[in-house]
Structure formats: C-alpha cells, structure tokens
Amino acid sequence: MSHPKTPHVVDARYMEPPEPFTKTMEMLDTLKEGEKMLLLLFREPHPLYRVLKQNGHAYEVELVADGTFEILIWP
Amino acid sequence: MQGLLSFDKAPPFAAPLRFFLTAPFFGLLAGLLIVWEGPSLLVSRWTPSTLAATHLLTIGFMLQTMLGALIQILPVVAGVNLANPLRVARWLHAGLSSGTLLLVAGFLFGQPDALASAAIILGLTLASFLVVIIPPLLRAPSSSPTIRGLKLAMLGLAGTVVLGVVLALALAWGWPLPLLALADLHAAWGLGAWGGVLLAAIAYVVVPMFQLTPGYQARLSWWFPVLIFACIGFWSVSLVFELPPLGQLAQVVASLLGLVFCVITLRLQFKRRRARADATYRYWQLGLSCTIIALFSGLTATFWPVVANSSEWPLLFGILLIAGGFVSFIVGMLYKIVPFLAWLHLQNLGQSKVPAPAMNKILSEKDMNRQMVCHVLAIALALGAVFLPEWLARLAGLAFVVANVFLIWNLAGAVSRYRQHALLIAQKLAAL
C-alpha cells in the first residue's frame, strides 16, 4: 500500500453493489477537516467518481499488485 | 442515499434489453437449423448450413448481447457515456438483426445478393457503432486494465468486421482471394482479438464484483489483452508474408495465454467469499471448462497435424469454444445483469420511498438452473453428434431449441415481473 496511512478505511473488496458506494458516502460524511479516507476495491468505481466530482471531493487512484484499486478521497 | 446512486447516467432499460431479448431467438434459429439440416450440418465447418449456424450464434447471439451489454456498462466500467444510448441501441439492434438474417439467408440459399447486402448492412452498422464509441473511449485515460482492454477490443471488432465484409463480398462476387486462410483469420480476430479481449476486460470487473472473488493480479490484467492482440497481429502478418512457423507460434502463444486466463479465473472462483454457488457461477465454471478443453485441443492440433486435418476437430473446437465457452459466459452474465438492472431501475422508480423487490423475485434461481441443464445437454449432444451425426445431430438441435426457448421464457418472465413491480411501485407512490 503506497498511499499515506489513514484510519478511515472502507475495505469494499468483498462487498456487493451498492454497499461500497453507500459505505463510502457514509464515511465521507464523518470526516473532519483535513482528514482523508481510503476505499479499497477490485475495480474502479466510475459512478462514485462522478458523484465525488459533483460534490467537490478530490481523489487519487492507484492499482496495486494484487489487483486492488486504492482510492484516497478527501473533502 | 439511494438517490445518490449516480443513476442519472445509466442508459434506459430498453437500450440493452432489446439485445438481450433478441439474442436467444437467434440461438433458437440455430437450433431449428440443426434440426432441419440434421447430420449434413456436421460434415464439415465449410458447409453453407454450418456457416449459417455458426453466424447465428456468433453474430446473432454473441455480438447482440456483447454490444447491448457494452452500451449499458461503459459508464460503469469505464466512465464513458454515450450521448444518446437509446438511439444508438435502436439503429444498432436493427442493423445487426437484419444483417444477421440476410447473412444467414445468403449462406443457406447461396444467394450472392443476400450475402453482399448483409456485408454492406453489417459493415455500415458496425462501422457506425465504432465511430460513436471509439472517440469517447479514447478520451478516457487508460487508468485500469479494463479500459485498456476495451480499447483493444474495439480494434479487434474493427479487424473482425473488415475481414468478414471482405469474405462475404468475395464469396458473393467471386473475388480471387484465399478464402479458407482469411476465414481462419476472421475467426481468430472475432474470437480472440474481439471476443477474448472483451471477455477478459469485463471479467476483471464482473468476476470479483458478482462472485465476490479476489481480484485479478494487476500485471496479468494489464498485459493479457496486449499479448493476445500481439499474437493475432503476428498471425495476420504470417499469412500476408507466408511465414507459417510464425503463425503457428502465434497460435500456440495465444492458446497458452487463453489457458492461463481460464485457469486463473477458475482459481479466483474457488476462493470466492459467496458461500452458495449461483447460476452465474455455474455458467462461468462451464464456460471456463469448455474453453480450457477447446484451447488444449487447439494446442494438440497445432503439434499433431492429423488432428488438425480431420473434419471432426474444427467442429469440436467450434462447439466447445462458441456454444460451450462464449455462450455460457454470456448467459451466466445475463442472469446477473437482467435482474440487477431490473432491481436498479425499480429502486430508482421507488425514489427511496418504496423499496424494490429482491433480485430473486425478478428471476428465480430454480428457473435459471433448469435452463442451464438444457444448455449443458445441448452442448453434450452437439459434441457427441460430431462422431454420431446420424444418431445425435437432430437431438442436439432439439436440445438447443429447448435451451433457448427456456432462456427466452426466463428473460421475458423477468421483464414481465419488472413491469408488474414498476406498476405496483407507481401505485404505492401515488397513494403516499
């Protein structure tokens, strides 16, 4: 994992849609100023990206060796 | 929260559904053709009725569902949105369906005009589809192996279409071309560079998502589409410059790559977190097993010319890879996608006030499993019919007919239940 560590992690790799989406949105609501969250998935969540952009959130994506997409999101 | 499901960009249900509901009718026609023609259809891969049955499955069934599904899932797997998906779906579906029927009629009745018209209609329809889909796809950065795979698959589709159009016109107008070699190349582009690469690109997303398996290793998923494409490219070059050893090497490497992909997918499925095996899982297991046997037999044929030159091997290979492999993957995915889309659209209709019914209320597991038994029987009988055509050919055709009628029944039933629930939800909302 090359992203900076954050205690706010949604490991959605074995969740069925729409759970990864709802869990991420719930966690985003709890983040305080300056905090970041990490979403782990075996795919790129393009519908989530669209909502993040619409809501003014920023994100960074990295694909790691085991096929996990690490998506770092901040408000 | 449900309102945030980014539903605004999802294409209307009618866009993919017309493809999904039409495809089994082409499967049904293929079955009827086998019943009608009987043992003569299994004499060689080159008989007019064999070519007709093959294209009923590859264009009529496979391409219909592949393109319909692409229109639906491009926004989800690649963030690519078509400007007007329903309009694209309408003309694409019309062109594809009419072109397939004309092509099949052209093969069956030896009608040059039908063949030429089919080539023009299919060529123009698919070229227009590529013109619509390639620019937004190219604008999307290749941030995942899926997006890179999709871009290569489109190139694969273009190559398949060009070769197919040239072959049909050459057959219709008597162009002096090496038809057999070009037909092999057309099949390699269609089943490898298009079908295989598309399947892998989509599998990277849907296998972990729907079956709750681990993900595909990043390095393999980046390189698999590129390497398959390179193999088909070298194979093409070997034909143009008459370099048979290069062609053989490309075939061997492509088969090995396909085997690696299938074995890895099987391993991922064995590690799945979903305890219960569902119809999609079983269909994928069937598809992977048939593809592994097909590719293994392909390797055998490369090293053992007696096998390659027999009239049985190409038929066995085709039945295993097309009916056993691709059709199984596709039906398995339809059984996940159709109830999921119905649920998603009902969820949207309910506006977070009226919940959507569970997916198994749209399409029951029991019905899907029963249909799969018919499909397995059809493949087994078709394989047996290659060796015992007099005994089994018509039975195999009948089994294909039953499997496809059952599939139509299941999918149409799902749509009908979706409509009933949509009405109910509308009534409940009005009463609130």
At B76-92, the pLDDT tens digits run 999 999 989 999 999 99
Task: Kindly determine whether residue A47 and residue B6, on different chains, have CB atoms separated by under 8 Å.
Answer: yes
Domain membership flag for residue A1: no
Contacts of A43 in chain B (CB under 8 A): 77, 144, 146, 204-205, 208-209, 215
Overall domain count for chain A: 1
- Kindly identify which residue of chain B lies nearest to residue A22, measuring between CA atoms: B1
The answer to whether residue A4 sits within a structural domain is no
How far, rounded to the nearest angstrom, does the alpha carbon of residue B428 sit from its chain's CA centroid?
A: 39
A48-62: pLDDT as tens digits: 999 999 999 999 999
Mean pLDDT, residues B356-377 taken together:
95
* CATH number reported for the structural domain that contains residue A32 in this entry: 3.30.110.40
Q: What is the pLDDT of residue B8?
A: 53
User: Considering the domain boundaries, does residue A26 fall inside one?
Assistant: yes
Residue of A nearest to B7 (CA): A47
User: Residue range B297-305: average pLDDT?
Assistant: 91
Domain of A63 in residue numbering reads as 9-74
In terms of CA atoms, which chain B residue is nearest residue A42? B215
Q: Model confidence at B320, in pLDDT bands (50, 70, 90)?
A: very high
Q: How many CB pairs under 8 A join A and B?
A: 77
Minimal Cα–Cα distance from A20 to chain B, Å?
Answer: 11
- Please name which of B193, B380, B371 lies closest in space to residue B293, comparing C-alpha atoms: B380
Q: What is the pLDDT of residues B375-429, one digit of tens each?
A: 999 999 999 999 999 999 999 999 999 999 999 999 999 999 999 999 999 999 9
Name the nearest CA neighbour of B159 among B49, B251, B87, B237.
B237
Residue range B284-295, pLDDT digits in tens: 999 999 999 999
Q: Is the CB of residue A27 less than 8 Å away from at least one CB of chain B?
A: no
The encoded tokens of residue B348 equal 């949207």
Say what the pLDDT of residue A3 is.
62
CB A42 within 8 A of CB B214: yes
The nearest CA of chain B is from the CA of A9 a distance in Å of: 18
In a domain, A39, yes or no: yes
Band (A17; pLDDT cuts 50, 70, 90)? confident
Please check whether residue A43 lies inside any domain of the structure: yes
A1 confidence band (pLDDT: 50, 70, 90): low
Strand partners, A59: A73
- Does position B5 have pLDDT exceeding 60, yes or no? no
Q: How far apart are CA B327 and CA B407, in angstroms?
A: 12
Q: Report the mean per-residue pLDDT for chain B.
A: 95
A66–B273 CB contact, under 8 Å: no
pLDDT value at residue B3: 37
Residue A31 resides in a domain: yes
Is the Cβ pair A13, B221 closer than 8 Å? Answer: no
Is the pLDDT reported for residue B6 higher than 50? no
Nearest Cα residue to B422 out of B340, B345, B336: B345
A17: which chain B residues are within 8 Å (Cβ-Cβ)? 209, 340
CA dist B230 → B39, B159, B234, B254 (Å): 38, 13, 6, 9
Mutating which of A11, A15, A16, A42 best tests the B interface, going by the most B Cβ atoms within 10 A? Answer: A42
Helix axes B279-303, B197-211, angle to 10 degrees: 150
pLDDT at B274 over 90: no
Q: Would A52 be classed as within a structural domain?
A: yes
Q: Is residue A63 part of a domain?
A: yes
- Closest in B2, B6, B212 to A16, CB measured: B212
Q: Evaluate if residue B1 carries a pLDDT over 70.
A: no
Chain B residue whose CA is closest to A17: B209
Specify the pLDDT at position B2: 39
Mean pLDDT value of segment A16-39: 93
pLDDT of B9: 62
Report yes or no: B273 at the A interface, CB cutoff 8 Å: yes
ipTM greater than cut 0.90: yes
